[in-house]
Amino acid sequence: MSDSEKKKEKVKVTVIGDGGVGKTSLIQRFTQGTFQKDYIKTIGAQISNYKVDSEEYRIELLFWDIAGQDDFHFLRPSFYRASKAAIIVYSLEENDLGMRSFENILTWQTDVKEFCGDIPILIFANKVDLINEERVNKAQLQNYINKHNFLKYFITSALTGQGVHEAFNFLIKKLKKERRDISP
Ligand code: GTP
């Protein structure tokens, strides 16, 4: 099938989490070279595109990342509107930023539920390069994921690239599968 015959669809994915946890860096790492970035001041979002092709359709993923958190409260409805999936990023670094970013995951989840309903949410535990990975209690993290109905967690580093492609590709696979399931 030629590109022009393919069904085309845009899929919005919001990427949230506390300031400084690495949201922008993760998106940049994944979309390296192939992405166009746009900055929309009025809705406080930076948007990165990523095209996924299959035989019959082309999905254009739009990753929405908060551009500065200052006025976010007022921008929330438009920021979240029509998202098909969300990624909540926290930082594994062993300091205040890291701890707070983990504690705030549930606040971000509440936001997603309020504005997007029951969409899949992935957790990215980022900046693993700053710690000894053995210190991450993976069984405990998995329990947390199950308890709060997140889809899956990934351990990532935007700096070294560890886990980044695996994490985003899991999401892409899931979104592709959803397309297949609803196609006739
Ligand atoms: P806001 O725009 O404030 O919401 O931040 P953000 O979540 O988009 O974080 P950003 O990508 O701007 O990264 C914040 C800082 O952390 C930058 O100095 C990055 O270089 C650094 N950083 C991001 N990811 C990693 C990582 O995996 N490892 C390390 N060591 N540093 C990282």
Ligand 1 centre and the CA of 22: distance in Å? Answer: 3
CA–centroid distance, 119 to ligand 1, in Å, is: 25
- Strands across the sheet with 45-53, in order? 37-40, 45-53, 57-66, 7-16, 83-91, 121-126, 152-155
Look up the pTM and report it: 0.92
Per-position pLDDT tens, the chain of length 184: 676 777 888 999 999 999 999 999 999 999 874 444 555 656 678 888 898 887 778 889 999 998 766 666 777 888 899 999 999 999 999 999 999 999 999 999 999 999 999 999 999 999 999 999 999 999 999 999 999 999 999 999 999 999 999 999 999 999 888 876 655 4
Distance 20 CA to ligand 1 centre (A): 5
Residue from 14, 15, 18, 21 whose mutation best tests the ligand 1 pocket (most atoms within 8 A of CB): 21
Domains of the chain: residue spans and CATH = 3-178 (3.40.50.300)
DSSP annotation of 32 reads T
**Which H or E run contains 16?**
strand 7-16
- Spell out which residues line ligand 1, taking CB within 6 angstroms: 19-25, 66, 69, 126-127, 129-130, 157-159
